[in-house]
Amino acid sequence: MEEILIFFYTYKEAIFIIALSIFLGIEVISNVPAVLHTPLMSGANAISGVIIIGGIILVGHADASRINTELILGIFAVIFGTLNVVGGFVVTDRMLEMFKKKKK
């Protein structure tokens, strides 16, 4: 029991952010028309590429003077994260571009 309290206290800011973000995520999405489900899923997917920051921090502080597992896997994490970010946003834009075109 005490350990749970310690956990809560240590991470209280993060836990507040999580609790509020959950409501924010639900609020922001509700009432979205079915037409936008696919682009929205794709756009949200791109945002989850925020993990790229973790990859950058990892590689940024890795030992770059010699080849090692941490460096190699970290580089892969950055490449994968970028794929998620760039691919996700570009694909979403491509989908939305079409909706735009026909509105003219």
Partner 1 sequence: MDKILGTFNGVEFTVGGTLLELSYLVAALLFVVGLKLLSHPESARRGNFYAGAGMVLAMLTTILLHKNADGGGIQPANVWIILAAIGVGSAIGWIIARKVKMTAMPQLVSFYNATGGAASALVALLEFPNADMSNWGSVLVTLLGLIIGAIAFSGSMVAYGKLDGKVNDIRAGYLSYINLILLAGTLALALFILLSGQTPTELNWAIYLLLAVSLLYGVLFVMPIGGADMPVVISLLNSFTGIAAAMAGFIYNNQAMILGGILVGAAGSILTLLMCKAMNRSLLNVIIGAFGGGDAATQGEQGTMKEITMSDASVLLAYSRNVVIIPGYGLAVAQAQHVCHELDELLVSKGVNVRYAIHPVAGRMPGHMNVLLAEADVPYDQLVEMADINPDMPSTDVCIVIGANDVVNPAAINDPSSPIAGMPIIKAHESKNIIVMKRGRGKGYAGIENSLFFDDKTRLLFGDAKSTLQKLVNEIKDL
Q: 29-88: which residues touch partner 1 (CB under 8 A)?
A: 29-62, 64-65, 70-71, 73-88
Calpha distance 25→41 (Å, rounded): 13
Calpha distance 76→29 (Å, rounded): 32
Contact 62, 71 (CB under 8 A): yes
Minimum distance from residue 57 beta carbon to partner 1 (Å): 6
Question: Tokens 């899923």 — which residue?
Answer: 41
Q: Which of 1, 2, 24, 66 binds partner 1 (CB under 8 A)?
A: 24
Site string for partner 1, 4-23 (x = CB under 8 A): --xx--xx-xx--xx--xxx
Q: How far from 27 is each of 16, 89, 91, CA to CA, in Å?
A: 17, 22, 24
Minimum distance from residue 1 beta carbon to partner 1 (Å): 14
Minimum distance from residue 73 beta carbon to partner 1 (Å): 5
